[in-house]
Amino acid sequence: MTTPITTTTRIADATIEADPDVPIIRITRDFAATPAQLMRAHTDPDLFARWVGPDGMDTRILEWDVRDGGSWRYVAARDGEEYGFRGCFHQVTDDRIVQTFTFEGMPDDVSLETLSFEDLGDGWTRLHAQSLVDSFEGRDAWLASGMEEGVDQGYAKLDALLAGGAVS
């Protein structure tokens, strides 16, 4: 008996990699969604607030102007503590977002983020995200901050929204 060969391997959990030569964090993950659905989930403020970040966070969008040159700001709260984030959209296309990202608790650490959505066919899309920071120390601080938990839990919430039909 032969085992069927799968031509496309699905990345069910996010892979988070630190580049050894450049202070970049790369995240890759597959979703049962179209590129348009993932783009909407990343650009619609109501949807974004429902899935971003770790479980138990309440996210309020304070500013959201999705266009080249637009800006954004949101606050995530849990257990009486608030965490602000802000940035600017530099490029928004049908399958790519380039933006800055700043945690307001560390205002000097601005990253340049690029997100792209690769159509894998059969209703699957691979998210490619990279965050370029200004130093290896800054990158390593991000990785040590609990970022992985927020990414994994946030994407699990996004999976549920997609499966439930909330993202058309």
**15 assigned to some structural domain:** no
Q: Where residue 98 sits, what CATH number does that domain have?
A: 3.30.530.20
**64 assigned to some structural domain:** yes
Angstrom distance (rounded) from CA 98 to CA 100: 7
**14 assigned to some structural domain:** no
**What is the pLDDT confidence band of residue 3, given thresholds at 50, 70 and 90?**
very low
Q: Which residues of 81-93 are buried (b: 16+ CB within 10 A; e: fewer)?
A: eeebbbbbbeebe
Torsion, CA 128, CA 156, CA 88, CA 101, rounded to 10: -80
* Residues in Cβ contact with 18 at an 8 Å cutoff, skipping those fewer than 6 apart: 24, 25, 26, 139, 140, 143
Does position 135 have pLDDT exceeding 80, yes or no? yes
Q: What is the reported pLDDT for 124?
A: 95
Total of domains in the chain: 1
Q: In percent, how much of the chain has pLDDT > 70?
A: 94
What is the domain extent for residue 102? Answer: 25-163
Helix (H, G, I), strand (E, B) or coil at 138: helix
Helix (H, G, I), strand (E, B) or coil at 16: strand
- Write the DSSP symbol of residue 39: H
Does position 168 have pLDDT exceeding 80, yes or no? yes
**8 assigned to some structural domain:** no
**11 assigned to some structural domain:** no
**20 assigned to some structural domain:** no
Q: Are 98 and 113 in contact (CB under 8 A)?
A: yes
